[in-house]
Amino acid sequence: MEFSATIIITAYNNESTINCAIESAMTQYDCNAEIIVIDDCSTDNTSDILAQHNNITVIRNCSNIGPYQSRLIGLNKATSEYVTFLDGDDWLNKDAISLSLTAANEQKADIVQMTIKRRFSRFDLPLKYSSQYNANNAFNAVLFNERLFPVGCCGKLYRTQLLKNIKFPDIDLRWGEDRIFNIVVFATNSNIAIAKNAVYNYRWGGNGTKATTNRIEDYTQTTLYKLNWASENNYSHYRQHILNEYIDISSYWVRQVLNTSVYTTKDIITALKKNFSILELDESICDDIYINNAHSTRRYISKLAQFTTKILS
C-alpha cells in the first residue's frame, strides 16, 4: 500500500494521552497515513494501550533511549515520501498533514513548517511567532536564536529521502536534541514552506515540559555540539551568539525550576555554575541570573494568575 505520509509517534509513559495522539494520526483528512509508534520502554500502561490498536506499526525499545534515537528508528522504517514526528502527549488537527502536503507540492518544498499551538489544561496559546514564520530564519534560529523560527522536530513535515541521506550524529540527549537534529537538516539549504493553517497541538505540562537539573545539563551538551559544529563548518563567527542564547535559555530554565518548588536556591546556582564552567563562561553571573529570575518569576506568576482568571471568567 502506498502512503501519503508517515507519522512517527514517540511515546514514553503516555498512558493518558497516547490514544489522543494515535487517533489524531489515524483520522487525518484526505491522507492515507502510515503510522509508526516507537514505545521507548514505557513502564506504565502505554504498551498495553498500543496493543489495542490495529493498522499501526509498534516498535518497543529494549531500553529507554530517548526521543532522538527513537525518531531515527522510526525514520528508518518509514516508506512514504514525507514524514512527520508527533510526541505521544501531543496531537494534530485533522487537516494538518493534507495542508502540509499541499504546501510541499505547491512550493516544491523539502520541509514544511506547521503552526504550533501550546495547549494548556484550560486554555491555549499559539507560539508568539506562529504568524510571523520566515523560512529564511530557520538556520539562524536553530543555531543561535530560537525566537526566529520553531526549532523542534515536531510540527514539521520533512521529505523522507532528505532525512535518510543525512548522517545524524550519535548523541544521547533527552532535551535540546531536536536542535541538533535540525542543525544538520537546515544546513542542507533545503526549501522550506509554511503551512499556517496546519496545526500541531503541543500539550504544555507533558513529559517535554518538565524542568529538571538534567535539562540544563542536556542543553549544555547541545550548546557544546553547536559550538563544535559551527567551528567545523565555518560558522565560528556565531560563537558569541550561541553562548548568548545559552545564557538566555539558562534564565528560562531558572524560571521553570523556580515554579516547581523542587530545587533549593543552592541546587539551582550549583547547577548553573557547574554548566557554565563546562562552557568556560563567567560563573559570577550565575547569582545575578538567579536573583533576576526569582524577581521576574514572582511577577510572572502574579500576571499569569490574573490572565488565567480573565480567560476563565
pLDDT digits (tens, 9 = 90+) for 109-136: 999 999 998 887 555 555 544 456 778 8
197 Cβ neighbours under 8 A, 6+ residues apart: 95, 99, 115
Q: Is 90 exceeded by the pLDDT of residue 195?
A: yes
Predicted pLDDT at 302: 47
| Mode of pairing for the β-strands spanning 156-159 and 111-119 | antiparallel
Q: Is 80 exceeded by the pLDDT of residue 168?
A: yes
CATH for 162: 3.90.550.10
* Same domain assignment for residues 131 and 186: yes
Over the chain, what is the mean pLDDT?
A: 87
Give CA angle at 226 (206, 158), nearest 5°.
Answer: 60
Q: Is 50 exceeded by the pLDDT of residue 21?
A: yes
Who has greater pLDDT, 39 or 174?
A: 39
* Same domain assignment for residues 111 and 159: yes
- 265: three-class secondary structure by DSSP: helix
Predicted pLDDT at 288: 83
Q: Is 90 exceeded by the pLDDT of residue 208?
A: no
Predicted pLDDT at 121: 59
* Same domain assignment for residues 56 and 199: yes
The residue with cell 514572582 is: 298
Q: What is the mean pLDDT of residues 166-182?
A: 92
3-state percent breakdown (helix, strand, coil) of the chain, nearest 5:
50, 15, 35
Least confident of 13-27, 59-73, 225-239, 285-299: 285-299
Q: Is 80 exceeded by the pLDDT of residue 32?
A: yes
Instruction: Name the residue range of residue 280's domain.
Output: 212-312
| Mode of pairing for the β-strands spanning 91-92 and 192-203 | antiparallel
Predicted pLDDT at 206: 60
Q: Could you list the beta-strand ranges (E) of 128-274.
A: 156-159, 192-203
Domain count, the chain: 2
Predicted pLDDT at 287: 85
Q: Is 60 exceeded by the pLDDT of residue 299?
A: no
* Same domain assignment for residues 130 and 272: no
Percentage, residues of the chain above pLDDT 90: 66
Who has greater pLDDT, 57 or 125?
A: 57
* Same domain assignment for residues 178 and 251: no
pLDDT tier for residue 249 given thresholds of 50, 70 and 90: confident
* Same domain assignment for residues 193 and 239: no
- 304: three-class secondary structure by DSSP: helix
* Same domain assignment for residues 60 and 113: yes
* Same domain assignment for residues 303 and 251: yes
Q: What is the mean pLDDT of residues 75-80?
A: 97
Q: Give this prediction's pTM.
A: 0.87
Under 8 Å between Cβ of 133 and 200: no
